[in-house]
Amino acid sequence: MSRASKSEEASDGSSVKDDDDLVQRIQAGDSRAFRALFDKYHRRAFAVAMGVVKNEEDALDAVQEAFVKVHKNIHKFEGTSSFYTWLYRIVMNVSIDHVRRGSRRKNLDFDERSLHQESEVAGDGALVPNITDANPGKAALRRELGDAIQAALQELPEHHRAVIVLREIEGMSYEEMAEALDVPKGTVMSRLFHARKKMQASLAPYLAGEDVSED
């Protein structure tokens, strides 16, 4: 799913209005409304959690804990940001807490193709070259690159990993990321720039071998 399509639901006015209506019903004690919000967002929340904790069991725990926090604190939600943004801020914070507590980690089947997209920042190109799998040799290299990306992502500091996950996996805009992480947009852009540079340094052998994708 592209960035535009991923962000479409959250940015569309009717969806935000639907969320606001559900929140108001939850605040009034309607348990069915909470179930509706859970059904709408739990898969996307799981994708964000998996990008941080690297373990399916921990990701499920993080999502469950996040929605418990949502239910407990829904009366504090005032609508100054979208529910979508408020939820992902909670999911990200809970997921990072899991990592800090030494959660078990396993590899995530990270889709390196999402990292080929160009940044909105001028001069910041694709994170890794596009290596096709037109022949067995290239397919093997692509698998090796996927493993290298997983390892590089795991080595990032938590705040750098968070912006990579939100940008490259969840497809959030800079504005959405700033709201979700509760930091200025400039901080988000700076973190993403440095995170990508660290990833590029870790993936230098593959960047140097970009011509392998050409016949």
Query: What is the distance between the alpha carbons of residues 157 and 202, in angstroms, rounded to a whole number?
Result: 14
In this model, does residue 161 exceed pLDDT 70? yes
- Residue 126 confidence class, pLDDT cut points 50, 70, 90: very low
Task: Say what the pTM is.
Answer: 0.55
Higher pLDDT, 50 or 147: 50
Name the residue with higher pLDDT: 146 or 40. 40
Residue 98 pLDDT greater than 70, yes or no: yes
Going from the N-terminus, what domains does the chain have, and what CATH number goes with each? 3-100 (1.10.1740.10), 112-213 (1.10.10.10)
pLDDT band at 7 (very low <50, low <70, confident <90, very high): very low
SS3 148: helix
d(CA 200, CA 121): 16
Distance (Å, whole) CA 146 – CA 154: 12
- 181 within 8 A of 81, measured Cβ to Cβ: no
Give the span between the Cα atoms of 177 and 7, in whole angstroms. Answer: 11
